[in-house]
Structure 1
């Protein structure tokens, strides 16, 4: 075992007991039996160590899930997806428990962004699985179903990670396969539209550029039929290019497009840009 691996292994033991915030570098080095100097030869800071742990766990987890979804047979796909998920949670239970109980307020921007990116990667794998399993049937409900699947993953893992109950993994997985199939075949009401997903996909703490807003607005204008909403969007685009309108007029134009089903995302971007 290398010095870096030793630090990661021993630090995880402390993090699992105390949390990220309450664990100091001094405690980690004492637990490893090394000097602070040796620690800083491997990691520049505690945050860098936490990032390394997150990378190690999430890369393995996402890679395992992605392989099952992309390479597995369709008839066993959902079973193998859930089985791989919970088997991985169990195998890395200390770190899985830590991520579940650690408040996000204790993460700095880099750590929070890292988890966000891994979460988006997992969501994309789940969506790919849904489309492969249910095809056209899932077109309007795939985002709702993906959130249900993620909810199953999180909630049922608490049974053995938090409450430490003995689990029949095969029974758990078969029950979730049944539940997921029932939802996929019987859901009729969509709550999560494409526009909401676009909002969620906005990079954390990063404002879209003016060019990106103009591009989004232009695309929506091209896709819309002639209407008061389209005219309002065209005027707002012109305001982006050559500001001239009174704030009250801008507010009125934004109100015109607010409830149009194809304008929710550009309305969101424009409100943020104009500060409305």
Structure 2
């Protein structure tokens, strides 16, 4: 196991028991069985470790949902699959979500706020793409309000299994939210969020990277990985960025090779966006 990944997994166990504020770097290193020097080779501080954990879980959720939505050809199944996959991801990572919501008030700083704004804006763009594909021009006046309605559904219904331990039937939940979303799309007539207001709230995303940045990301990830199919696939993907010699089917296959590796999900997501897959 990569040392950085080990530290993150063990630290999460401690944070779940003790909270962010009361857990020290010394306790983390003792629990991991490593020295402080080894810890600081991976993370500059406990705050950086916490931000890395947020990145890790948000990347898992974002990349999985993006992949699923962009590989569903049947529009009739798209919204259902989206809701099902989103809540399945929340449920899978519910331990971290509970800890994060409970502890976030103790960790507010500028970097934390920027990080959360980034992921929030990323999710909004995913929702907008979904809405435009499903409903087209018929919802132009209300599409930005629909984004916030979907966000509201996600926040409200996720609390049922995060805090109340309600038995979760993902199929029924997804079907129910599909019905509600479709009703809003067909019946809503008074928008609150205008295109001008939306533009004011828009900002560039850190995820919009250049070809050179993608190559640098791949180099960093290759250095961290042991010899594996994922490492070899990343090297071939780097060659593709340089020379563009492989057909689209091969590039898709290489991306599929790395997609499920926990350390490669973000670079896989960025490459899929770059190639518009």
TM-score w.r.t. length of structure 2: 0.69
Q: Which residue of 2 aligns with 1:194?
A: 195
Give the aligned CA root-mean-square deviation in angstroms. Answer: 1.9
Take 2:101 and 2:51, find their aligned partners in 1: how far apart are those partners? 16
Report 1:89-100 matches (<5 A). Answer: 89-100=90-101
Q: Give, in angstroms, the shift of residue 202 of structure 1.
A: 5.0
Take 1:140 and 1:8, find their aligned partners in 2: how far apart are those partners? 44
Q: Do the aligned partners of residues 88 and 80 (structure 1) sit closer, same or farther apart at CA in structure 2, a change above 3 Å counting?
A: same
123-132 or 50-59, larger mean C-alpha shift = 50-59
Q: Which residue of 1 aligns with 2:241?
A: none
Q: Which residue of 2 aligns with 1:161?
A: 162
Take 2:90 and 2:57, find their aligned partners in 1: how far apart are those partners? 10
Report 1:129-140 matches (<5 A). Answer: 129-140=130-141
Preserved CA contact (<8 Å) 1:12 1:94: no
Render the CA deviation track for 1:176-234: whole Å, top value 9, x for unaligned: 11111111111111011122222322579xxxxxxxxxxxxxxxxxxxxxxxxxxxxxx
Q: Which runs of 5+ in 1 are unaligned?
A: 205-276
Preserved CA contact (<8 Å) 2:142 2:188: yes
Q: Which residue of 1 aligns with 2:185?
A: 184
48-57 or 129-138, larger mean C-alpha shift = 48-57
Matched, 1:6 2:6: yes
Secondary structure of the structure 1 residue equivalent to 2:65:
helix
TM-score w.r.t. length of structure 1: 0.69
Take 2:27 and 2:131, find their aligned partners in 1: how far apart are those partners? 45
Secondary structure of the structure 2 residue equivalent to 1:103:
helix
Is the radius of gyration larger for structure 1 or structure 2? 1
Q: Which residue of 2 aligns with 1:39?
A: 39
Preserved CA contact (<8 Å) 2:21 2:106: no
Q: Which residue of 1 aligns with 2:27?
A: 27
Q: Which runs of 5+ in 2 are unaligned?
A: 206-277
Q: Give, in angstroms, the shift of residue 105 of structure 1.
A: 5.8
Q: Which residue of 2 aligns with 1:172?
A: 173
Take 1:179 and 1:17, find their aligned partners in 2: how far apart are those partners? 38
Alignment length, in residue pairs? 204
Q: Do the aligned partners of residues 105 and 192 (structure 1) sit closer, same or farther apart at CA in structure 2, a change above 3 Å counting?
A: farther
